[in-house]
Chain A
C-alpha cells in the first residue's frame, strides 16, 4: 500500500533518518519501536506526507508520490495521529464532523460515521464535551476515533497509548486490529514492546534514524574507546565488555535472548555479569516471558515460563544477569 525506498531526512544539516526500504502492506500492522530520538516520529511524518524527505521516494498504491498535488491527494488516503494530538476548538463531535467534511461527508452519513467511531473507542459519552475540557488520555482516544472515522487506506499512529490505562490500551489496539482486518495498512510507534509484538505483524526497530539490525530491546548509545578487540562501553553505571573494532559514538544492543538469569553468580565464560532486581514480569507476545531487570539501567530479558517458575522469579527478586562480550551487537 505504502512503500518507501532510500528515504533520507535531515533538519538543517543534521541527518535524522535514513531508511533503505520500508513496506506497509494493506491488511497488515507494523510496529515501530526504538528509544526517544530514534526517528520514529520523523518517519511517521514523512509517511504521512506532512514533511518532504530530502532524498528517496514514497509510493502509495504503487504510484510515486512526488508533486505537491500528489502529496495533497495522498494525504486524503493516509492519516496520522500524532503523539500529542490536536483537537480543534469546539466539541468532540464537531471535530469528527469537520474531519469528515474534508472528505466530502456531511449530514446523516457523517453523523453515523462519527457516532460509530466514537463508539468503537468507547468515548461516545465525550461527544458533546468541549475539546478544551478533555484530559490528555481522552484527547488521544478522540483523535484516534477521528482518524478511524475517515477509514483511511493507511493509518499511522505515534505512541497512541502513551497515557492510556490498560483497558483503553486494549480497546485501542482492538480498534487498530479491526482497521487492519478492514484492509488498512496500520503502522504505530510504541514504547511498549509487549504491545508491539502482540499487535503487529512486522516489527521495525529504529536506532539513530536507522533500522536496527537486531531486536529493539536493550539498545544503548555509548562512546567506544580506540583500538581493536574487547573494550569497555559505559552505559549508565555499567561497564559492558564488547568485542568490536569500532570506536567513537556507537549503538550497542544486547539481545534479550542472550542474557542468562540466575539467582547466584555463574561459573561461565560470560564476561559481563551484573546484579539487579526484577521490576516487571510480562508477556513477550511470543508465548514466553519478558523480565525487566533494574541493573543500574533497565535490561529486558526473555525467558521461558518454565524458567520463570523454576527460579521462582517475581517483582523484587534479586537476580544476576550474565552475557558474553561476543553477544553484544555494536553498530
Chain B
C-alpha cells in the first residue's frame, strides 16, 4: 500500500513540478492524437455521411465492414503498417517507419472507421424531413448535407471525441510502428508501458494521470458544448 501511495505522490510531484520528460511526451501525444483525429475525421465523416444518407448497392455490407473495423486489433494494424513501411516493404522507400508520422498513419487507420461508423449512425437517426426540407427550399446536395450535419452536430461531435479518445489511448500500433524512441516517438501510452515494465511506477502513474486529465478535459468540453446547444 505504501508503495502505491508513494507512486501516486511522486506522480503528482512530476506533473506539478513540470517535469520536462512528462511535458515532452504529453506534447508529442497531443500532436499525434490531434493530427490523427483530424485526418481520420476528414476521411471517416464523409464516408459515414455517404453510408448513412445514400441508398446504394452493397450499403448493408459497407455498414457491416465499418462495424467490424471498429474491433480491428490494434497490434494487427501496427504489424500491417510496419510491413508496408519496413525497408523491404512496398512503401519502404518513403522511410517513415519509427517516426511519429508512422504512428499517425496507424492511428488514422484505426480511428477513421470509428468516425465513419458513428457518423453513419448519427445521420441515420436524423429525421428524414431535415434533408427533404432543405432540398425543397432550394439547397443543393452539399447544403442539404450541412443541414443534416447541423441537426446531428452533438452526435457528430461525440464521434470526433470518441475517435480522439481511441487515438490518445492506443498503445499496440504506436509501439510497433513508432518504436517508442525517447523524445521522438514516445507517446503517453507507450511511455506508460515502458515505465511500468521498468518498475518506474511513479512515472507510469504521472503519465497515466495526464492521460486521464486529457480524457476528462475532452469530455468536459463535450458537456459544455451540448449544454450550450440545449439552452
Contact = CB atoms under 8 A, between A and B. Distances in A.
B133 A85 contact: yes
B133 A88 contact: yes
Interface string B157-201: 000000000000000000000000000000000000000000000
A99 B137 contact: yes
Contacts of A99: 137-138
B73 interface: no
Interface residues of A, number: 22
B151 A80 contact: no
Contacts of A103: 138
B136 A75 contact: yes
Given A86-B127, A89-B150, A89-B151, A72 B141 contact: yes
A146 B151 contact: no
A80 B136 CA distance: 6
B135 A50 contact: yes
Interface string A40-84: 000001001010000000000000000000001001101110101
A102 interface: yes
Contacts of A98: 137
A92 interface: no
A150 interface: yes
Nearest to A99: B137
Nearest to B147: A88
B21 to A, nearest CB: 47
B129 interface: yes
Nearest to A102: B138
Contacts of A45: 132
B9 interface: no
Contacts of A75: 135-136, 138
Interface in B129-152: 129-130, 132-141, 143, 147, 150-151
Interface string A90-105: 0000000011001100
A75 B135 CA distance: 7
Nearest to B139: A102
B138 A150 contact: yes
Contacts of A48: 136
A50 B138 contact: no
A89 B134 CA distance: 13
Given A48-B136, A82-B132, A102 B143 contact: yes
A80 B131 CA distance: 13
Contact of B130 (A76, A80, A86): A86
B136 A50 contact: yes
A84 B129 contact: yes
Given A88-B147, A89-B151, A82 B133 contact: yes
Contacts of B136: 48, 50, 75, 78-80
Contacts of B141: 72
A82 B132 CA distance: 9
A184 to B, nearest CB: 15
A133 to B, nearest CB: 13
Contacts of B147: 88
Contacts of B139: 102
Name the residue in A79, A86, A150 with the highest tally of chain B Cβ atoms < 10 Å from its Cβ: A86
Contacts of B143: 102
Contact of B129 (A79, A86, A102, A147): A86
A203 B107 CA distance: 62
Contacts of B133: 82, 85-86, 88
Given A50-B132, A88-B147, A102-B143, A146 B127 contact: no
Nearest to B137: A99
A302 to B, nearest CB: 36
Interface in A172-227: none
Contacts of A102: 134, 137-139, 143
The residue among B135, B136, B140 with the most chain A CB atoms within 10 A of its own CB is: B136
Contacts of B151: 88-89
A79 B137 contact: yes
Contacts of A72: 140-141
Given A50-B132, A99-B138, A102-B137, 10 more contacts: A75-B135, A76-B138, A78-B136, A80-B136, A85-B129, A86-B127, A86-B129, A88-B133, A98-B137, A103-B138
30 contacts: A45-B132, A48-B136, A50-B132, A50-B135, A50-B136, A72-B141, A75-B135, A75-B136, A75-B138, A78-B136, A79-B137, A80-B136, A82-B129, A82-B132, A82-B133, A86-B127, A86-B129, A86-B132, A88-B147, A88-B150, A88-B151, A89-B151, A99-B137, A99-B138, A102-B138, A102-B139, A102-B143, A146-B137, A147-B137, A150-B138
> What 6 A-B pairs have minimum CB-CB distances, sorted nearest first?
A86-B129, A102-B138, A99-B137, A76-B138, A86-B133, A80-B136
Interface of B: 127, 129-130, 132-141, 143, 147, 150-151
